[in-house]
Amino acid sequence: MRQKTRRVLLYVSLFLFPVTMNFLSPYVSIDGAFAGVLSGSAILFLLLFLSGLFFGRGWCGWVCPAGGLAELCQTLNPKPVNAKRLRVVRYSIFAVWFGVLMTGFILAGGVHGVDPLRLTERYVSVDEPVKYILYYLVLGSFFVLDLALGRRGACHSICWMSPFLSAGMAAGRLLHLPQLHVRAKAEQCIDCKKCNSKCPMSIDVNAAVKTGSVKSCDCILCGECVSVCPKAVLSYRNKG
Ligand code: SF4
Ligand code: SF4
Ligand code: SF4
């Protein structure tokens, strides 16, 4: 039931992507930065950082439209990925993008205003035919990477949002905030590795179980491992 609900939420989010695209856009936030304005997407990135403090990367497992696309692609290519190698690519892309964003705010002399609907005056991101080109370009890139690289390949390689979530997650742990995570009762584990085969983020859950919890910054709290474990080893916990 939990996994069905999660998938429905992700598919609804994917369906609404023509409406929400600008609020997740790295371009819109840069456009705002050079004008000294906090756009809708810049605000969302800040909110992602804040959500990371308490919910880790739950956004990725339950809300993000790209997560919905990844779930579909995973049925076509369920191959696990080399997350470590792809992380280098992702953070390199992020460093360039974030650098441009900060440069924009510095050149503009800081933040002078807030405009949540910047470049989205009609409340819908894809509000004219030409914007479908951008929409299909974004969707197509994620689709190709998910298919070519394997499970959530695009999330691992090009996502500009996950570093905000990961930073929030790390800060939450540092501050010992009550943060949602997956806990394990190691003594009950029979090493069947069903959790590994189900994990959409290619985490070695079986190895993490030995440490008492899943600490990986890649964990998106989807709960696939919790649902599949035949010995109820894994469960959600919310402790600092
Ligand atoms: S990693 Fe990025 S693209 Fe993937 S689900 Fe998370 S926020 Fe969305
Ligand atoms: S599915 Fe459960 S029992 Fe099997 S390896 Fe994973 S944690 Fe252990
Ligand atoms: S470790 Fe479990 S909760 Fe985390 S991403 Fe993998 S399957 Fe989902």
- Looking at ligand 2, which atom is closest to the CA of residue 194? 1
Please give the pLDDT value at position 240.
Answer: 60
Domain ranges of the chain: 1-177, 181-239
Find residue 234's DSSP bridge partners.
184
pLDDT tens track of the chain, all 240 residues? 899 999 999 999 999 999 999 999 999 999 999 999 999 999 999 999 999 999 999 999 999 999 999 999 999 999 999 999 999 999 999 999 999 999 999 999 999 999 999 999 899 999 988 899 999 999 999 999 999 999 999 999 999 999 999 999 999 999 999 999 999 999 999 999 999 999 999 999 999 999 999 999 999 999 999 999 999 999 999 876
Bridge partners (DSSP) of residue 38 are 114
Of 165, 162, 206, give the one whose Cα is nearest residue 173: 165
How far apart are alpha carbons 198 and 190 in whole angstroms? 16
Mutate which of 2, 166, 219, 233 to test ligand 3's pocket (most atoms within 8 Å of Cβ)?
219
pLDDT value, residue 238: 85
Q: Which of 59, 197, 203, 229 to mutate to test the pocket of ligand 3 (most atoms within 8 A of CB)?
A: 203
Helix (H) / strand (E) element for 115: namely strand 113-115
CATH number of this structure's domain 181-239, picked from the four choices 3.40.50.2020, 3.30.930.10, 3.30.70.20, 3.10.105.10 = 3.30.70.20
Q: How far apart are CA 87 and CA 45, in angstroms?
A: 19
One-letter amino acid at 237 equals R
Name the residue at shortest CA distance from atom 4 of ligand 1: 155
Q: How far apart, in whole angstroms, are the C-alpha atoms of residue 160 and residue 156?
A: 10
Query: Could you please report the per-residue DSSP string of 204-234?
Result: -HHHHHTTTB---TT-----HHHHH-TT--E
| Model confidence pTM above 0.85 | yes
